[in-house]
Structure 1
């Protein structure tokens, strides 16, 4: 696979993926950038959250789980010295709906974390990733 990253500003870059999509990145103003786009580390965390979310939605679709709201949030800790890598990532899977099938949701999340999410599998080699599931009863 061929990737290309080009400089488009002081510390701003865009990446062209093999599928033809552009990803813009920039450094924070405190690091010499304009803050015009996510930092590379922010895109890594977004990739993790996107990867596991796509797994979960696909697995729940196969399980015929419908009518739920879903979102994911994360908190993380960084190393104090360079390289400022993630040292801990905590994922929080949020599900809202009426009569949620918690057993199927828990299975989908576990399958994503333990088997399918390639971003998670790669990051787990270097960072402690934990997760929890939160449920919200939603009458709509």
Structure 2
């Protein structure tokens, strides 16, 4: 399988994924780009959040959990010297709703991180990934 990217600006690149989707990336102005698109490291973090979120939603669906709101955020740190890799990532899973089944939610998050999320599996060999679940608006 081949995947390529083409330069379309000073530091801007365009890629078409093997599934036919467009991805644009650019460097910040301080790094010689125009800041017209996410940086490659921002897309890596977005991929991690997307991967684990899709797992969690799929697993909860199979557990017959519905009627909840969900979002994810990440707190992270970079190395100060090159290569400026992530040194730590904390994923924060946000759930809100009434009568949330915390045991099922925790199981879904753990299954994603321990078994299913391929992006997390790749990254955790080089960066400390932790996770936290926050519950809001509960009425139990």
- Does structure 2 conserve the Cα–Cα contact (< 8 Å) formed by 1:99 and 1:137? no
Cα deviation 1:28-61 (Å, max 9, x = unaligned): 0000100000000000000000000000000000
Cα deviation 1:72-103 (Å, max 9, x = unaligned): 00010000100000000000000000000000
Taking structure 2 as the reference length, what is the TM-score of the superposition? 0.97
**Cα separation, 1, equivalents of 2:37 and 2:79:** 22
SS in 2 for 1:76: strand
Kindly report the root-mean-square deviation, in angstroms, between the aligned alpha carbons of the 2 structures. 0.8
Aligned to 1:137: 137
Flag as ranges the 4+ runs of structure 1 deviating above 4 A.
none
**Cα separation, 2, equivalents of 1:55 and 1:15:** 25
Aligned to 1:41: 41
Q: Does 1:2 align with 2:2?
A: yes
Q: Which moved more, 1:32-41 or 1:129-138?
A: 129-138
Matches within 5 A, 1:83-122: 83-122=83-122
Taking structure 1 as the reference length, what is the TM-score of the superposition? 0.97
For structure 1, the 5+ residue unaligned runs are none
- Does structure 2 conserve the Cα–Cα contact (< 8 Å) formed by 1:60 and 1:104? yes
For structure 2, the 5+ residue unaligned runs are none
